[in-house]
């Protein structure tokens, strides 16, 4: 029952995130033809909703909303295979539900496959950077005891990465797949999704590796300093 409750939180959180990303993109396209302003509107809505859902669902499920994070937690043995499977199903189904909901709100076909091509090595690199930064920030902030600041830190990183990465920071396999279901501003053609997801996997691995190395170095430095103070 506990796993189901956590999975339901992941479903709601991921669905809310995707509905916001797609819905705000669709609204932005309706409001203005200025692509820069469209991206700004999309970014602001995403930043706000990230802060909200991480704050609300964090105490319940850890607020992953992202298979890359859940996979790392499985690797760290913080999730068992049963919990990981439940999280994965919840994130994928929640993302799909959020996309359908956004489509319905804007009077689009429920399943509205995107034709927005996003291809090229520069976008692949952008996704690696966006995802590695996200993963590094999550684990480094947790390591430093900044858990209460995580909602702000994550929202701030994604908001910044929307503008400084070439890919506009998808950084999430579940969200990427969900965005193939909406041919709107935030959509992505299904043929472009595999490369984005591959980049996200690489980025997650790099981000966690950087954290593991840095946190170990920090620990060793603290230990040495403590020994010096203790006269050892």
Prediction pTM value? 0.92
Q: Is the pLDDT of residue 219 over 90?
A: no
pLDDT score at 38 = 98
What is the helix (H) or strand (E) element at residue 219, kind and residue range? helix 193-229
Helices marked H in 112-192: 121-143, 150-164, 173-179
pLDDT score at 216 = 83
CB count in 10 Å sphere of residue 199: 25
The whole-number average pLDDT for the span 7-21 is 98
Q: Which residue has the tokens 């959020």?
A: 98
Q: Any idea which fold 2-229 has?
A: Glycerol uptake facilitator protein (1.20.1080)
Q: How far is CA 8 from CA 14, 56, 226, in A?
A: 10, 13, 44
Give 77-124 pLDDT, tens digit per residue: 999 999 999 999 999 999 999 999 999 999 999 999 999 999 999 999
pLDDT score at 226 = 40
The whole-number average pLDDT for the span 124-145 is 97
The 8 Å CB, 24+ separation contacts for 24-31 are 24/186, 25/184, 25/185, 25/186, 25/187, 26/102, 26/105, 26/106, 26/108, 26/182, 26/184, 26/185, 26/186, 27/106, 28/185, 29/184, 29/185, 30/106
Written as six digits, the tokens of 166 are 């070439």
Q: Is the pLDDT of residue 229 over 70?
A: no
Tell me which of 196 and 218 has the higher pLDDT.
196
Q: Is the pLDDT of residue 194 over 80?
A: yes
Q: Where are the domains of the chain?
A: 2-229
Q: Please report which confidence band the pLDDT of residue 217 belongs to, taking 50, 70 and 90 as the band edges.
A: low
Do 111 and 184 form a contact (C-beta atoms < 8 A)? no
The whole-number average pLDDT for the span 141-166 is 97
What is the distance between the alpha carbons of residues 21 and 169, in angstroms, rounded to a whole number?
12
Percent of the chain with pLDDT over 70: 93
CB count in 10 Å sphere of residue 115: 12
pLDDT score at 218 = 53
Give 21-80 pLDDT, tens digit per residue: 999 999 999 999 999 999 999 999 999 999 999 999 999 999 999 999 999 999 999 999
């Amino acid at each position: 029952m506990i796993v189901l409750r956590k999975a339901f939180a992941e479903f709601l959180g991921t669905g809310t995130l995707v509905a916001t990303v797609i819905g705000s993109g669709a609204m932005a396209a309706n409001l203005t033809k200025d692509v820069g302003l469209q991206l700004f509107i999309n970014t602001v809505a995403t930043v706000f909703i990230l802060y909200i859902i991480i704050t609300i669902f964090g105490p319940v499920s850890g607020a992953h909303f992202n298979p890359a994070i859940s996979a790392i937690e499985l690797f760290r043995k913080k999730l068992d295979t049963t919990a990981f499977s439940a999280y994965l199903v919840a994130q994928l189904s929640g993302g799909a539900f959020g996309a359908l909901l956004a489509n319905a709100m804007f009077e689009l076909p429920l399943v509205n496959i995107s034709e927005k091509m996003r291809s090229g090595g520069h976008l692949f690199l952008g996704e690696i950077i966006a995802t590695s930064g996200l993963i590094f920030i999550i684990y480094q902030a947790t390591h430093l005891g900044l858990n209460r600041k995580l909602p702000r830190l994550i929202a701030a990183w994604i908001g910044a990465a929307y503008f400084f990465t070439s890919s506009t920071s998808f950084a999430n396999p579940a969200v990427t797949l969900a965005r193939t279901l909406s041919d709107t501003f935030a959509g992505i053609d299904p043929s472009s999704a595999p490369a984005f997801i591959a980049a996200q996997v690489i980025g997650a691995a790099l981000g966690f590796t950087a954290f593991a190395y840095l946190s170990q170095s920090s620990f060793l430095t603290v230990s040495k300093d403590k020994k010096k103070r203790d006269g050892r």
